Structure 1
Amino acid sequence: MTGTLTVYVAREHLDELIGRVFGLMVLSFTVWILGSLARLFTLDPTSYVMLTAAKYLGVATAPVWFFLFALLYAGRDRWVSRRVVAALLVVPVVTIVLIATTQFHGLFYGGFEATSLGDASVLDTERGAWFWVFAAYGWGLLAVATGTLVFSAVGQSPFYRTQSAVVVLGITIPWIAGILYIFRDWPHSAVDPTPLGFAVSAVLFAAGVFSRRLIDVVPAARSYVFDALDDAVVVLDTDGRLLDANETAHELVVDDVAVGSVVDEVIPQDTAADGGEYVIETEDSRRVFHTRSARLTDGLGRETGRIVYLNDVTEVVERERRIGVLNRVLRHNIRNELNLISGYMNVLEEKVDPADREYVEEAHESAQRVVELGDKARNLEETIQRRGSGMVVSVPTVVAQVVEVARAEYSHATVDFETAYESRRDARAIVVDEDLFQTAVANLVENAIVHNDGDAPQVTVRIELTDEDVVVSVADDGPGIPDDEMAVLSSSTETPLEHGSGLGLWLVKWTVSLSSGELTFEENDPRGSVVSVTVPAAAG
């Protein structure tokens, strides 16, 4: 069976390092078994030595392959290099050479003697000094590899714990048989029972490969993932003493703090507040972190410590601060200057020739649009800053106010308001903010009117209910939303060659997103667009 398993692994997993190592391990078991059986049929010391040297091609290398397999399975791939493999194979190579030449120096076998095994005769040996050196080396690798597998299984899912148990049990059974053979001469001083143990191993390994996906699905090393995190992660006990920290934490937070030391001065107890801001100031720098934490408990649910995650947001905070300052200054100054321009335009409109007043009016309207753009930018800034749990609003009340304002401001347009629900209480929704939600709906109605190419735009605002959501749709009979606007909204980015014409739809998109809702676009029949805002309905 070990030979069959070797062929299968070589065929299916030869392109994977762990597959090649596993295949070599099973192949070494096969050589071990065949060599042990072959030695039973010779009483000639020279032939016995040659067969033993061939057998030890498997015996001497099996611990090495098992050790390497354990490292790869546990995710410690960086420890498996050609240099490491070469170093591990030094003792096996020396062992095989000493076996082949043992009749000249007696370091492996000190003597040979024929003994009876039932009605047959077999050759027994006296073990030399190097035999025990190799035994210590092999058992040492076995112990370290087993410990690595057991350690890698701690904290893993039952699937991976079962995998590890299969491997450990499969390798332990033949080695226990070997120990009994060496120290207890069981079942006979000239008969190595280890191959019988490998028969059991083959069954377990086959079960692991075919039912537990032993080679192609292995757990990532948690220590590797721990150190690879960009966030600083610190593990503390209930007394605030440092138990562990990843590489990022050592670089940023606990560089000079030893394991077991109290770290209250570096990480105060109140740092555990989720979403809080934590600042570390030194003579040379000031770092800002957003914090999260999690309790550590034992099997009885008792608290044993906490894990603190610190996300370094220094650059983000500084960038947001600069953008905020620039935004406020520009918006304030631009609005002041445009208001001044509008005032002068009003004066100028009375003094120019009536035939030229349309140019002044156009300039005045353009200035006013820029002012409105600044207002939308302010609303966008408020939208982005809202990260709360949301608020419950009456959607009919909000929409009714929007429709009333639109009818008054755009008298040339027809704005209808339709509802499809039994009770206004049923049409309550959870949104990020009532004012922002109202502004978003108002933008949709305004766009439907302002961008309509007809003299009398027709707009219908409708509220519908589903099992879990409230849907507000705005339908118009205009030219539809341009493809370039749709492309920008779909990609959520703008470029110098591909950008939207304004901020209104961005405001709608982000408000809906922060409300855990959905924004959809459809074509109206026979002409125009239908924009729908779907937000979660409030319970009760």
Structure 2
Amino acid sequence: MRRQEEQLVGALFDVLETEGHDEARKRLLRAYESSASEGRDELIERLITELVAVLNEQLGRREGAVVLTDAIQFLFDRLVSVVEVAPVAIVVVDAEGAVQLWNDGAERLFGWTESDALGGRLVSKEADASGPFGDSLSRLERGERLTGVETRHPHRDGSLVEIRFWAAPLRDRHDDFAGATYVAADVGERKRREQRLTVLNRVLRHNIRNDVNVVLGHLEALAAERPDDDPHVAAMERRLAEIVDLSDAARRAERLQESDGEASRTTFDLSALARDRVREFDTAVGDAAFTVGGPDAVEAVAHELLPFALDNLLENAVEHCGPSPRVRVAVREEGDRALLTVADDGPGLPAHEREVLTRSDETQLTHSTGMGIWLVRWIVRSSGGELRVGESEAGGTAITVVLRR
């Protein structure tokens, strides 16, 4: 209840000032200043006690009741404003599942007006309920909170709406179950868009791989009649390899979308991961110098595709450096965060690549030459982490992945 008590104290301060009760407000300010060094709970308790004394002693019972009523009305109006302006459906039901509050967002989502919905049964209290919200009310009564549950709910026009809902129980002053608050959002269009993209992605990847295999077969036949160091053959082979890499990146992006969330996260030893991936690159890129620094073991929670993000950062560092790139990978701890930095001595990350890492969307002015940098961003974001881009000690680029330890 501390949060609600704190809001009430703040509202009373505002009402006392608005209605010209300067002496009462000054007394409360003195109480606040004298208790400012105390803990939050102790401070609120002290202010509540002082408020009761001020309302009784300085304003009198009648005027104190008016001030208290105005403060409650102020909080109520603010709550109503938030509920009505919310772009999602907000519904409050009683202990039996009957609707007590139905905002404009609920009317837009489900089609029924407030007058249609109030008093009607939204959800059943039965443990084996089979409606759109299932047994959620009985689960809430047991003290559960529901987060991001997807289901289908009938619209007034007879269609089914794809929704995702969140719900929390309400308790009365005796701590008995008094109902629940449901918040729901339409996810139908998002799911349809994701489905279309998934199908398109798979079809394109399948066709690209088939076409590349055909072209490679013809290229091998032609290459047999050309010198071993023919630059035209080498250029075509390089381009075809890049197309295959792009197809692989699209597959990983699709996998990332399908497995987004806490369940797809795992614990990595960043130090061991850095040493392993650098060893692979050191073998594959003979003219690059790699070093790894930091503690022997630093654990962090990240999406299961984190190794691919690190591979892309290493590849990007080598690609944008000179003929003999120097790349340093450093792992460190910073409070409750684990940091992995890939730094190079190149001319710096191109502006369009830097924008991909620092912006949340791609526009005509912020596009990458490939999917690698975008894949890094998506993986880190799905890991609950963040990216930092700066200048390395060698004058090149330093990209840091910040993760939860």
Where in structure 2 are the equivalents of 1:144-155 lying within 5 Å? Answer: none
Say whether 1:453 aligns with 2:322.
yes
The structure, 1 or 2, with the larger RCO (C-alpha pairs under 8 Å, 6+ apart) is 2
1:319 alignment counterpart: 193
State the Cα deviation string for residues 384-439 of structure 1 (Å, max 9, x = none): 44111632111122122211221222123222223x32x52xx1111122xx1111
Q: What CA distance in whole angstroms lies between the structure 2 residues aligned with 1:378 and 1:485? A: 21
Instruction: Report SS of the residue matched to 1:351.
Output: coil
Letter paired with 2:284? E
When structure 1 is superposed on structure 2, of 394-403 and 217-226 the one drifting more is 217-226
C-alpha separation between the residues in 2 aligned to 1:521 and 1:466?
17
Q: 2:150 aligns with which of 277, 280, 286?
A: 277
Structure 2: runs of 5+ lacking an equivalent: 22-58, 125-130, 138-145
- Report the CA distance between 1:298 and its aligned residue: 0.6
Aligned length: 338
- Residue 247 of structure 1 and its aligned partner are, at CA, apart by 2.5
Kept after mapping to 1: 8 A contact 2:170/2:178: yes
Q: 1:521 to 1:168 in 2, by over 3 A?
A: closer
Q: Report whether the alignment pairs 1:486 with 2:354.
A: yes
Identical residues among aligned pairs (%):
27
Q: Given the superposition, is the C-alpha separation of residues 271 and 335 from structure 1 closer, same or farther in structure 2, using an over 3 Å criterion?
A: farther
Matches within 5 A, 1:481-520: 481-520=349-388
Q: Which residue of 2 aligns with 1:415?
A: 290
1:307 maps to which of 181, 184, 190: 181
Please report how far the alpha carbon of residue 360 of structure 1 lies from its aligned counterpart in structure 2 after TM superposition.
Answer: 1.4
**Alignment TM-score, normalising by the size of structure 1:** 0.56
> 407-416 or 368-377: which moved more?
407-416
State the 1:463 CA deviation.
2.0
Question: In the alignment, is the contact (CA less than 8 A) between 2:356 and 2:374 conserved in 1?
Answer: no
CA distance in 1, matches of 2:352, 2:135: 49
Take 2:356 and 2:342, find their aligned partners in 1: how far apart are those partners? 20
Q: Partners of 1:526 and 1:307 in 2: how far apart? A: 55
CA contact (8 A) 2:90 2:182 kept: yes
Which of 232, 237, 244 in structure 1 is aligned with 2:89?
A: 232
Q: Do the aligned partners of residues 347 and 312 (structure 1) sit closer, same or farther apart at CA in structure 2, a change above 3 Å counting? A: same
1:358 aligns with 2:231: yes
2:253 paired residue number: 380
Instruction: Report the RMSD for the aligned CA atoms in angstroms.
Output: 3.4
Note if contact 1:242-1:258 (Cα within 8 Å) is conserved in structure 2.
Answer: yes
Task: Output aligned runs, 1:77-156, within 5 Å.
Answer: none
Question: In the alignment, does 2:17 pair up with 1:160?
Answer: no
Over 3 Å counting, the alpha-carbon distance change for 1:167 and 1:220 in structure 2 is same
Distance (whole Å) between structure 1 residues aligned to residue 355 and residue 108 of structure 2: 43
> In structure 1, how many angstroms separate the alpha carbons of the residues matched to 2:351 and 2:108?
49
**C-alpha separation in 1, matches of 2:87 and 2:135:** 22
Structure 1 portions without partners, runs of 5+? 1-152, 171-199
Amino acid at match of 1:298: D
Equivalent residue for 2:120? 261
Structure with max Cα Rg: 1
Distance 1:348 1:489, change over 3 A: same
Tell me the secondary structure at the aligned position of residue 83 of structure 2: helix
**Residues 169/493 of structure 1: CA separation in 2 closer, same or farther (3 Å cut):** closer
Separation (CA, whole Å) in 1 of partners of 2:112 and 2:327: 63
Distance 2:172 2:193 in 1: 42
Could you tell me whether the CA contact under 8 Å between 2:8 and 2:75 is conserved in 1? Answer: no
Instruction: Output the amino acid matched with 1:395.
Output: L
User: Does residue 462 of the first structure (1) align with residue 336 of the second (2)?
Assistant: no
For residues 147 and 75 of structure 2, the distance between their equivalents in structure 1, rounded to whole angstroms, comes to 33
TM-score (norm 2): 0.73
Superposition deviation, residue 353 in structure 1: 4.9
1:391 equivalent to 2:266? Answer yes
Q: Whole-Å Cα distance in 2 between the matches of residues 402 and 453 of structure 1?
A: 21
Secondary structure, in 3 states, of the residue corresponding to 2:287? coil
